[in-house]
Amino acid sequence: MSRPSIDLALRLDHRDVVAHVDGRALLIEAIRDLGARSARIGCLTGDCGACTVLLDGQPVKSCLVLAAAADGREVVTLEGSASAIAETVRRAFIAKKGFQCGYCTSGMILVAIDLLEAFATPTEADIRSAISGNLCRCTGYDDIVSAIADAAEQLSAKAATRESPEIF
């Protein structure tokens, strides 16, 4: 049986894409089919955060968004996050062993990037609050928190060097 499909035009990881998708699809399903595989499907209830992406710059759980509602909007997944903050957080997750199976990792890194873009010097409580919508089924929370704290420290150290007058 043919299902009603919709035309979806969106900007996905800085590329314009036009696709014909099932009108019943969730955003997470549509973007994974379009190749953005870092975002994961976990619960489809909004609880686990594995499907986190940025929609028009805001972190969202993309299992709670209809694909049709993303028409004309911008989606950025971990694969499209290329800022200095993103790079530092990625490296800190590796250095601090902020993952085990890795299923939650892309969601965790995205909320961490979002946090560090807003607050350069988060407290541990800020970090725990930022990841409170993301579940790690391997339960490695302490290493995730220390990876984010480490990234924050590295970024502040870099910012301090940048601000020093000798640079100019």
Partner 1 sequence: MIAHDFDYHAPRSLADALALLGQADAAVLGGGTWLVPNMTYGRQRPSAVVDIRRLGLDAIEIAGDIVVGAGVTYRQVLQSEALRAKLPLLAMMAGQVTGGPQIVGQATLGGSACYANPSSDVPACLVALDATLRLASRTGHREVKAADFYTGAFQTTRRPDEMLTHMVFAPPPGGAGCGYHKLKFSTGSWPIVTAACIAVAATDGGPRHRLAVGGANAVPVLLEIDGRDPDEAVAARLPSLISQEWSDEFAGAGYRRQVAPAIASRALRQARGAR
Ligand X SMILES: Cc1cc2nc3c(=O)[nH]c(=O)nc-3n(C[C@@H](O)[C@@H](O)[C@H](O)COP(=O)(O)OP(=O)(O)OC[C@H]3O[C@@H](n4cnc5c(N)ncnc54)[C@H](O)[C@@H]3O)c2cc1C
Footprint on this chain of partner 1 (rule: CB under 8 A): 3-4, 6, 22-26, 29, 44-47, 49, 52, 58-61, 63-66, 68-69, 111, 114-115, 129-134
Minimum CB distance to partner 1 smaller for 17 or for 41: 41
Q: Enumerate helices (H) and strands (E) in the chain, giving the number of each.
A: 5, 5
Q: Does 57 bind ligand FES (CB under 6 A)?
A: no
Of the candidate residues 100, 126, 128, 146, the single one contacting ligand FES (CB under 6 A)? 100
* Least distance in angstroms from the C-beta of 84 to ligand X: 30
**Residue among 65, 157, 53 at smallest CA distance from 109:** 53
Render 140-168 in DSSP notation, one character per residue. -HHHHHHHHHHHHHHHHHHHHHHHSGGG-
Cβ atoms 31, 9 nearer than 8 A? no
Under DSSP, the state recorded for 26 is B
Angle formed by the axes of helices 84-95 and 105-118, nearest 10°: 130
Task: Give the H or E element holding residue 66.
Answer: none
Q: Does 82 bind ligand FES (CB under 6 A)?
A: no
- What gap in Å lies between CA 9 and CA 142, rounded to an integer? 40
The answer to whether residue 152 forms part of the interface with ligand FES (CB under 6 A) is no
**Nearer to ligand X by C-beta: 47 or 56?**
47
End-to-end CA distance of the chain: 67
Which of 69, 82, 95, 101 touches ligand FES (CB under 6 A)? Answer: 101
**What residues between 40 and 69 interact with ligand X by CB under 6 A?**
46-47
The smaller minimum CB distance to ligand X, of residues 47 and 87, is found at: 47
Residue 99 as a binder of ligand FES (CB under 6 A): the answer is yes
Which of positions 27-56 make contact with ligand FES (CB under 6 A)? 41-44, 46-51
